A and B are shown apart, each in its own frame.
Chain A
Amino acid sequence: MATLVLDNGAGSVKIGFSNEKEPRIIPNCVSKAKNVRTRIFIGDQIDECKDLSGLYYMLPFQKGYLVNWDIERQVWDHMFGKDCLQVDFNETTAIVTEPHFNFPSVQESMNEVFFEEYQFKALHRTNASALSQYKWEKESNDKHLCTLVVDSGYSFTHIIPYFKGRKIKEGIKRINVGGKILTNHLKEIISYRQLMVMDETYVVNQVKEDVSYVSLDFNEDMNIARKRGKENTIARDYVLPDYTHIKRGYVRPTDQTTGKAQGNEQIIRMNNERFAVPEILFHPSDVGISEMGITESIAHCVQGLDEEMQPHQLGNILLTGGNCHLQGFKDRVYKDVRCLTDEDIDVNVSVPDSPSTYAWEGGCLLAKDANFHKKMVVTRQEYEEQGHSICEETFDV
């Protein structure tokens, strides 16, 4: 019997059967291209589109929560269907993730869609952080009492303390900053300072992923970015794609970085933008969001827990989610948390090799757990007999 693991992120879906090595990473959206008026692109169909300029997105998620079911079901239909995974619903158990503090009505529609529309054999709903924590605990050599999971994704960042494999609900903290805001902010500042790119979410997101990094010394980097010529080791020229000759944007090698475009190409000069944008994760107040940043929130979260537990949490911080791909992210978290804690407490920060698919991998591991099929799933039969209440009892979300 097959188990399908679906880490349903607001930005991208990580999906695959539990016996597979890697998930497919599929954008969780339906997009429309400016120059292709005959069709829409569902999820990863966007790979078939040759001109990715001015893409228009329709997203199923709003502020991290599933609200647009029509769009979501189009994406799911495509993924489950014959072009992608060819799911045999009657014989398949699904593990599906949802955000923390998901709203009851969203959870109910989730049950309905999976049992009544797709008719899966059984379902397990959980949080991505629970799967990450499970994998981390199973695979680490020394046993930890606590894990502090930081999940920084597309819509927001959550900090979730775990104690002996169970999450401490009272301790969960949410910062409303994620990858989407970073990309949108980068779009705004490039558009104001250099070139109008407000329509180019797709391209600017690639710019962000290619050249931005988390600064370890913000003020010093600002000083370097002010310098001219060779002394400025931060500035980069980013060559934009034109989708005729250049299919994808790229960073020009540092020795050819002049700040001038060659030939017909268009470039963006990335200077303080490279680190000032990811800085929003650590200082949301830089763009006027009056919230704590990631490291301050970690300290705030830990201080709210039992005093005995605090060193155990700080000694085992696990970073997951797409923003962990930012260069320097882990070192910065370590550096700042180190500064905020007493000297005699050990601080350990880890990032898995693939922070964005880590929860999916955890789901695959969970599917092999002896208890999983016995205790953690709700079968379709049970759902048909007892409805939403059995789901509420069984799933710890």
Chain B
Amino acid sequence: MISITGRIKESQQKRVLDEAARKRRQRKALEALESDNFQDDPHADLKMSKKAPKFEESINEGSMNVKKKRKSKGEFKQRYRKNFASLLEEEQLQNKDPPNYFSAAVPPSSLPPRHFCAVCGYPFYFIQFSCGARYCCVRCLGTHQDTR
């Protein structure tokens, strides 16, 4: 009796991910592949001290020159500060006839996707796991359950 309730409990704990959740995970994984850095900026906690001497600007440089440069830089920033998403949006709004950025993308492959063991990377031989990952042997299944 005890063992049966134990099993029910266990099966309830093992959440089976639905299609949407799997897609979400997939998207996150793809975003991670595009990221520049995994860690945080190591200098983020640096505090700029006003008292610290500034070495950048030499005394010889005319003060006029410096002012002009700063101003143009400020204007420039405002006009062209666009990230990739807003550039794409702009491109979409302009609605240019193909060929354009969107039409140049290759379509999905006509070949069926290949599957690999999520743990060791070899071609998979066994069943789909409840979260959609695949595995090739009992050992890898164990590792998978322990870690992911």
Contact = CB atoms under 8 A, between A and B. Distances in A.
Nearest to B87: A103
Contacts of B46: 37
Interface of B is mostly: loop
B106 A174 contact: yes
A288 B30 contact: yes
A221 to B, nearest CB: 11
A296 B111 contact: yes
Interface residues of B, number: 49
B38 A187 contact: yes
B6 interface: no
Interface string A52-71: 00101111001101010110
Interface residues of A, number: 68
B122 A189 contact: no
Interface string A79-109: 0000000000000000000001101111001
A106 B87 contact: yes
Given A34-B42, A276-B121, A286 B114 contact: yes
B42 to A, nearest CB: 5
Given A65-B87, A288-B26, A37 B43 contact: yes
A226 B136 CA distance: 12
Contacts of B72: 116-117
A376 interface: no
A222 B42 contact: no
A336 to B, nearest CB: 11
A291 B106 contact: yes
A222 B43 contact: no
12 contacts: A32-B41, A63-B34, A103-B90, A170-B99, A173-B106, A180-B34, A272-B120, A276-B116, A285-B111, A285-B114, A288-B29, A293-B109
Interface of B: 26, 29-30, 32-39, 41-43, 46, 72, 76-77, 79-84, 87, 90-91, 94, 98-101, 104-111, 113-114, 116, 119-123, 147
Query: Which 7 pairs show the lowest CB-CB distances between chains A and B?
Result: A198-B38, A285-B113, A62-B84, A290-B108, A101-B101, A199-B39, A174-B104
